[in-house]
Structure 1
Amino acid sequence: MATKSPSRRAAATPAAVAAPGVHYRVECADLHARLFEVTLTIDRPAAEQQLTLPVWIPGSYLVREFAKNLQGLQASQGRRKAPVLTQLDKCSWRVECTAGQPLVLRYKVCAYDNSVRTAWLDAERGFFNGTSLCLRVEGQTDAPHALEIVAPAASALPEGAAPWSCATALPPLKTDRHGFGRYLAADYDELADSPVELGAFWSGEFEAGGVPHRFVVAGAAASFDGDRLLADTKAICEAEMRFWHGDKVGKRGGPKPPIDRYVFMLNAVDDGYGGLEHRHSTALICNRRDLPQLGMKKSADGYVTLLGLISHEYFHTWNVKRLRPAEFARYDYGRENYTRLLWFFEGFTSYYDDLLLRRAELIDDAAYLRLVNKTINQVQQTPGRQVQSVADASFDAWVKYYRQDEQTPNGTVSYYTKGALVALCLDLKLRAEGRGTLDDAMRHLWNASGGGPVSEADIAAALEAAGGRSYAAELAAWVHATAELPLSELLRLHGVATLDDPSQPAQTLGLRVAESGGSVQVKVVLRGGAAEKAGFAAGDEWIGIELPAAGRKPAQGWRIGRLDDLALYLGAGKRCTALVARDRKLVKLPLVLPTGVTTWRLLAQDMGRVSKWLAPVAIAAAKA
């Protein structure tokens, strides 16, 4: 696979950053055992130097206990007697040493999580976040930190394997042509916020808004069209820069974006999806089949999903990495950091990720409305939307959204999807009233805050500045309560009708199932549905149905291999006995199929009003 080598600039320590006093050396100690080895040198330690490893990574709101993967921690200080090393709690240590004399700590980290959140290492690829590998030196977290990344020995790689390269958004101090060497972070926060990709990955570059961007892809197949991915990603980046800063962004005399470099890191796997935002980069994971393929004429649904993910994480460059909850002005890496504003920072980003695909002309109006339709139905089919407000769901992310189980849809709502619909409603409301748009409110918030921490009061003030009135009532009803959103009414004002279509079998029954190999496994039983009334439970295997005798027809039993079989065997009937296996026992459940269960379908009835909402006016507004 052809690789476009990144251009190399002269590496030098930025003038505004002092020489680092904390140094990390990261080596691939054992590819097969999946072990990184870290050597941490502290030039001027305290007499009782404390060290901690984060328990979570910003952007992913779950305590993940990264210290569970750390092993063999040792301390030394010259030829003196080994310093006394004491573990204080699950993620903290104290070293009793001579103050002001270089202190060296060595340890290994097991890297087996092939996600964007922690660390991974094998014979084909390496990846890590600083929160997983780099101990925090308490008392020196605001000082510059140096990171040296060492290439694995050629003998450690599989026979015939291509040499590895290294990609990160950290500024280089001294690196070789493959990117291995020393990098500089202004402080621990920047180190923690700069993931590192290692391996024989594909790499390409483009410029957007005067800013160099790099895209690296690991695990792609031979059919991968890298040029297509670069072109489409560039269109997204340019659309988002115009959104925030106008058409003159990056041009002579125009506004400057808040970044001077950016790196996309994409891991293509057989089955996976997700992303994690950072200030100058993002880590992504997608299905290998969803990458653009050579000769592909029309964008497949999977590729559009990938572009939406790219758009989402890049939008976070502004909305959550700079604009951010006031509670995140300074992260506490040792515990949960609570906020009720994820409906804005994740939800509004989820609204704009697909909308900006439309504005970048990567999808058309019809494709965009299908994406909105999907989001609406996801929320409508979540009973938890009537139980918990989206503000409370934001606060509870640590124990609910990131710890989902069979009752999650019944007790909470996604701040991604419900938050996106709140943004949709506010945008349509603002446009209908004719004073401004949600775009205007977002830019006002950016300018008024200086791109820094904000509160809900700041968000409310930005909406009022855009619309000329208070939107406190809408925020109270849509964000802090569980009332249904006025989606149908607002969409109609912008030329989109909402029609009722017959629901699919799972929605009709109030189930979420997994169908495989002729087996129907119940994963979720939705509150108030026919399946719950019949007595279904998560974990049931639905084996078959029994039909009662009717007229001359005797009672019959049928094996169920998928939910679509119900219509085949029931015909016009609405009653049967479901046979399920539960705890190795056969259980009979009386099932009554409901009538009138529908799903929404959006229909563009006035393309003039639809286009006015989706593209021309929004782009023109960015010029103001």
Structure 2
Amino acid sequence: MRKTPQGIGLLSALSTSTLALATLILAQPALAQVQPASNSRPMAVPIAHGVPDAQDVPYPGTIGLQIDATDLATGAFRVVETVPVAADAKELILQLPAWLPGEHGNRGPVAELAGITFEAKGQKLAWTRDPVEVNAFHIPLPAGTSEVVARFIHTSPLRDSESRITVTREMLNVQWEKMSLYPAGHYVRQIKVRPTVSFPQGWTVFTALDGKTQSGSGNTVTWAETDYETLVDSPIFAGLYAARHDLGHDVYLDLVADKPELLAIKPENLAAYRNLADEAVGAFGARHFDHYDFLLALTDRMGSIGLEHHRSSENQQEPKSLTDWAAYDWDRNVIAHEFSHSWDGKYRRSAKLWTPDYRQPMQDNLLWVYEGQTQFWGLVLAARSGVQSKDVVLGSLANYAGTFTQTAGRDWRSVEDTTMDPIFAARKPKPYSSLTRNEDYYTEGALVWLEADQIIRDGTGGKKGLDDFAKAFFGVRDGDWGVLTYEFDDVVKTLNGVYPYDWATFLKTRLQTPGQPVPLGGIERGGYKLEFKDEPNPYDKARMADAKVLSLFNSLGVTLDKDGKVTASRWDGPAFKAGLVSGMQVMAVNGDAYDADKLKAAITNAKTGNPGAGRPIELLVKRDDRFVTLPITYADGLRWPWLVRTAPGTAPTGLDKLLAPHASKLPVGKAAK
């Protein structure tokens, strides 16, 4: 307060205690307000699950599904779905598949559905999206409703950044699970559907669905009634330029291409695919399909895919992969891999990965069997059949092994833990995948199964191998194309039936325990060793050339695109330690404008024993709008992985025998027609 004469007189009259109290009140007026006892603390609202669990009971009636796939300009699929309902039903719950087979995670593209309406008796019905399971739609039903008509559009991606492209001017891919709804509360095998699709005029249509009929105009196709599980498992490839080849064993190669000349596969190369059918049936010893279709798109316009189904597979290869056979040797493994899945993954499936519908979450713990052994068989069958050369297959194995020598993430994360990656990582790129790991159950799983094969060969004097496991595990009940589930102990029991060994410890150590040595046992038992050379093996060389990238993962620890942009940096590698990470662009090498050859020459020159040894490799790099020079200390030269034969003489080693053709060993009557 101000010291006025009146104030001085007043203060004189006050006692000391009164003065202190007055001073406190005037100085801190906020203390006069009432303070709460504690901060607000809400309680959780219980989550109400409004979608019922699936029951193994038939859904009443047959769903009519009509898809208009003729709009090539927008790529939009227009859907009309007629769903019968029980006479006393008060609500219908329709849902888009969420947990998609082969994707190993929740991938249902509900964001791509638009223009959704439901009607009954010509009247629009109100609907609400389930607040917990957002791919489900609740539709209250007026009394007397016998069927509900759903109309919606699947807005197919037009750019890679939006997701995988499925429609071009020359071809399209119908994946039923992305453009159909199914009623909740039932096993999908208990839901009947009659599908119809309209295609562009003059296009050829391929699918494993049965009972095909076409309209008089030829562009509308209807198939016989089927169950929803089989429908989802039977996608369509259709195209303007198409061809079909009989491979024997009721297996067909169905081709669609960007241009008609890309279909011109030479007879001797087509024979390799006939060999593949022979080799696969011979290896597994049974068929779990009544007929099978390789759906193969020869294109760089429709998105890349390799997706397994029980009686077919969706595959994409580079446009010239069949006509320029030698140059695209590296690109042709997808067919052999996906075919193997008919036995491993579709027929035999881990119990926790099988689900009754596409709502129940999948548990991916045994994907090192489902995908790891399939990766193994894909390489083996490709080499045996001639779909890929032995040198390229050896290069693939070398690539796997070499990569794992540089993968820091193996110290803390097991192979089995990577089987959960499709669920929580959703297959998106990672900043440092060498530290975080990716879905390594594919490639490290393949190396572990290679070691298992060679252990069996060694222990039985070459009389048995993983072929015997395949027949005992996957080749049971010839002709059954249902699903036969298994657990870890079933795998161990079957292995022990082929060759007694401590397989449980072997698998738990190699696959469930982090910090293990690089799995080179199969390579070394097979008469080879991992060695690094200053030139890429045939697989790496062709793959880099096609992608226009320079992979220096095993040397400098970095991968660059054609413009010198860093697309990957190996954790704790020489480039990483110097500060070179993803997103930067290398502009110059030792003062000269960047190109791949100059960088390779600089690495070679800096190698111990060469004139430039001991001097850092200087890179001028750009990050955002800033330039900086990074000196990288590295003296080990260029390094690409190879498998080099160690066995003396020329006799076939265990690995040679594994990759050699086996079709001549087929039982009588099993050879291709």
Q: Provide TM-score, normalisation by structure 1.
A: 0.82
CA separation in 2, counterparts of 1:488 and 1:107?
A: 52
Aligned counterparts of 1:489 and 1:258: Cα–Cα separation in 2: 32
Q: Verify: 1:540 aligned to 2:584, yes or no.
A: yes
Instruction: Give yes or no for contact 1:463–1:470 (8 Å, CA) kept in 2.
Output: no
Superposed, 1:434-513 pairs within 5 Å as 434=460, 436-446=464-474, 452-484=484-516, 488=520, 490-502=522-534, 506-507=552-553, 509-513=555-559
Quote the offset at 1:358 in angstroms: 2.6
Contact 2:60–2:85 (CA<8 Å) still a contact in 1?
A: no
- The secondary structure found in structure 1 opposite 2:245 is strand
CA shift for structure 1 position 340: 1.4
SS at match of 2:553: helix
Per the alignment, do residues 128 and 173 of structure 1 end up closer, same or farther by CA in structure 2, a change over 3 Å counting? closer
Distance 2:270 2:60 in 1: 36
Counterpart among 328, 350, 363 of residue 325 in structure 1: 350
Shift of 1:324: 0.9
Residue 384 (1) aligns with residue 384 (2):
no
Contact 2:408 / 2:434 at 8 angstroms: preserved in 1? yes
Structure 1 SS opposite 2:281: helix
Residue 636 (structure 2) aligns with: 595
User: Match for residue 253 of structure 1?
Assistant: none
Please report how far the alpha carbon of residue 607 of structure 1 lies from its aligned counterpart in structure 2 after TM superposition: 3.7
- Aligned with 1:520: secondary structure? coil
User: What's the CA shift for 1:352?
Assistant: 1.2
Tell me the residue number matched to 1:13: none
3-state SS of paired residue (2:422): helix
Aligned residues of 2:60 and 2:84 also touching (Cα < 8 A): no
- Relative to structure 1, the CA distance from residue 207 to residue 275 in structure 2 (aligned partners, 3 Å threshold; closer, same or farther) is same
Deviations 1:236-285 (A, max 9, x none): 1121011111xxxxxxxxxx622112222222223764311111111111
Moved more, 219-228 or 319-328: 219-228
Q: Which moved more, 1:406-415 or 1:568-577?
A: 568-577
> Aligned residue for 1:192?
232
* Counterpart residue number, 2:614: 574
Q: Which residue of 2 aligns with 1:164?
A: 203
Give 2:600's aligned residue. 564
SS of aligned partner of 1:601: strand
Note the C-alpha offset of 1:483. Answer: 4.5
Contact 2:247 2:277 in 1 (8 A): no
Query: Closer, same or farther in 2 for the Cα pair 1:369/1:199, shift >3 Å?
Result: closer
**Match for 2:130 among 75, 88, 96?**
88
Q: Distance in 2 between matches of 1:86 and 1:29?
A: 30
2:452 corresponding residue in structure 1: 426
1:118 Cα offset (Å)? 6.5
Matches within 5 A, 1:47-86: 47-79=90-122, 81-86=123-128
Q: 1:23 to 1:230 in 2, by over 3 A?
A: farther
Distance in 2 (CA, whole Å) between partners of 1:114 and 1:361 is 35
Where do residues 144-543 of structure 1 align in structure 2 (5 Å cutoff)? 144-152=192-200, 154=201, 163-172=202-211, 174-176=213-215, 180-184=220-224, 186-209=226-249, 211-226=250-265, 228=267, 230-245=270-285, 257-270=287-300, 273-293=304-324, 299-306=325-332, 308-330=333-355, 332-334=357-359, 336-362=361-387, 365-400=390-425, 402-413=427-438, 414-434=440-460, 436-446=464-474, 452-484=484-516, 488=520, 490-502=522-534, 506-507=552-553, 509-516=555-562, 519-543=563-587
Aligned partners of 2:199 and 2:173: how far apart in 1? 13
Deviations along 1:423-480, one digit per CA (max 9) or x if unpaired, are 1111111111117321212222225798611112211111111111221221122111
CA shift digits 1:514-540 (9 cap, x unpaired): 232xx3211222122111221222211
Q: Residue 337 of structure 2 contacts residue 374 of structure 2 at CA under 8 Å; is this kept in 1?
A: yes
Give, in angstroms, the shift of residue 173 of structure 1.
5.1
From 129, 151, 160, give the equivalent of 2:175.
129
Which of structure 1's runs of 4+ aligned residues deviate more than 6 A?
Answer: 114-119
Q: Which amino acid aligns with 1:378?
A: T
The 3 A distance-change label for structure 1 pair 121 and 148 is same
Counterparts of 2:642 and 2:405, CA distance in 1: 12
* Partner Cα separation in structure 2 for residue 47 and residue 18 of structure 1: 15
By how many angstroms is 1:383 displaced?
A: 3.0
- The root-mean-square deviation of aligned C-alpha atoms, in Å, is 3.2
Residues 99 and 47 (structure 1 numbering): CA distance in 2 closer, same or farther, change over 3 Å? farther
CA distance in 2, matches of 1:42, 1:317: 31
Superposed CA deviations along residues 38-96 of structure 1, whole A, max 9, x for unmatched, are: 111112353200001123421123433411111111122224x4332222243111122
Partner secondary structure for residue 234 of structure 2: coil
The more displaced of 269-278 and 89-98 is: 269-278
SS in 2 for 1:59: coil
1:615 is displaced (CA, Å) by 5.3
Contact 2:414 2:511 in 1 (8 A): yes
Shift of 1:181: 2.1
**Which residue is equivalent to 2:78?**
37
Amino acid at match of 2:196: E
CA distance in 1 between counterparts of 2:233 and 2:62 reads 19
The CA deviation string for residues 384-403 of structure 1, in whole angstroms up to 9 with x for no partner, is 33332111101222234712
> Which stretch has the larger CA shift, 505-514 or 62-71?
505-514
Kept after mapping to 1: 8 A contact 2:469/2:498: yes
Q: How many correspondences in the alignment?
A: 569
Q: Distance in 2 between matches of 1:37 and 1:123?
A: 17
Where do 1:7-46 residues align within 5 Å? 21-28=62-69, 30-45=71-86, 46=89
Paired residue for 1:7? none
The alpha-carbon distance between structure 1 residues 376 and 618, as it changes in their structure 2 partners (threshold 3 A), is farther
Q: Supply the distance in 1 between the matched residues of 2:612 and 2:117 (Cα, whole angstroms).
A: 72
Answer yes or no: is the 8 Å Cα contact 2:556–2:634 preserved in 1.
Answer: no
Mark the CA change 1:113 to 1:278 in structure 2 (over 3 Å): closer, same or farther.
Answer: farther
Aligned to 1:158: none
Larger Rg: 1 or 2? 2
**C-alpha deviations, 1:221-246, integer Å up to 9, x for none?**
5154245464322221121011111x
Contact 1:312 1:353 in 2 (8 A): yes
Match of 1:110?
Answer: 155
Measured against aligned partners, the alpha-carbon deviations of 1:119-168 in whole angstroms (never above 9, x if no partner) come to 7335433222111101112245412211011234x5xxxxxxxx123221
Question: Once the two structures are superposed, what CA deviation does each residue of 1:568-594 show, in whole Å capped at 9, x if it has no partner?
Answer: 775523333433222312233342114
